[in-house]
Amino acid sequence: MKYKKINFLFVLFLLLTLGSIHAQIRLPRLVRDSMVLQRDTKINIWGWASKNEKINIKFNNKTYKTTTGNDGKWLMQLPPMKAGGPYPMDITGSNKISLKEILIGDVWICSGQSNMVHQMNIHDITYAKDIAEANNPMIRHFWIPTFTNLQGPQDDLPTGYWKSAIG
């Protein structure tokens, strides 16, 4: 009898706890501080939250609104914008994520050779003069680790971050 009561209370606790849990807004690794968004084309910002949650994005003096689907995914397509920044971006739902130092400009995708994964700091002897003279914080680099996934397109990366080309 004692165990039935404990089991009942445990199940009741779980149901109450799980019923009150809300998934907070989560962003993919690509959508982070210091990111660069492609200029002069529609801009996709996406993420995850509780199903049917209202999401607001405040960026470049405008507010955009969307709602998550039953799967908890959301996507907002911002209109084309001219090069500029840095700008802040606030994404709000059940929680708020504030991003900073976002640029709008040209995005280059570089891939293929093993030397593409080199960080500049391993070339500090050969290119010491170039590194010392580098003074453009508007150039950013998104580092993606080397990994293989043959399961098709992915919504997110296992890790990665944006970094200024200097500093």
* Stretch 38-45: mean pLDDT: 98
Residue 129 lies in a domain: yes
With vertex at residue 47, the alpha carbon angle to CA 41 and CA 49, rounded to the nearest 5 degrees, is: 145
Residue 17 lies in a domain: no
Q: pTM to 2 decimals?
A: 0.78
Instruction: Let me know: does 137 contact 85? Beta carbons within 8 Å.
Output: no
Q: What is the tally of structural domains in the chain? A: 1
Q: What is the CATH number of the domain that holds 77?
A: 2.60.40.10
Residue 76 lies in a domain: yes
Q: Which residue has the tokens 């405040």?
A: 58
Q: What is the pLDDT of residue 83?
A: 98
Share the mean pLDDT of the chain. 85
Residue 9 lies in a domain: no
Q: What is the pLDDT of residue 105?
A: 97
Residue 31 lies in a domain: yes
Query: Which residue did the predictor score with more confidence, 53 or 156?
Result: 53
Structure tokens at 33: 């501080």
Instruction: Give the highest mean pLDDT range of 31-40, 120-129, 153-162.
Output: 31-40
Residue 12 lies in a domain: no
- Alpha-carbon distance of 163 to 33, in angstroms, equals 9
Residue 7 lies in a domain: no
Q: What is the DSSP letter of 61?
A: T
User: Residue 66 sits in which domain range?
Assistant: 24-159
Torsions phi, psi for 166 (to 5 deg): -115, 160
Instruction: Give the highest mean pLDDT range of 9-18, 70-79, 129-138.
Output: 70-79
Q: What is the pLDDT of residue 114?
A: 72
Residue 154 lies in a domain: yes
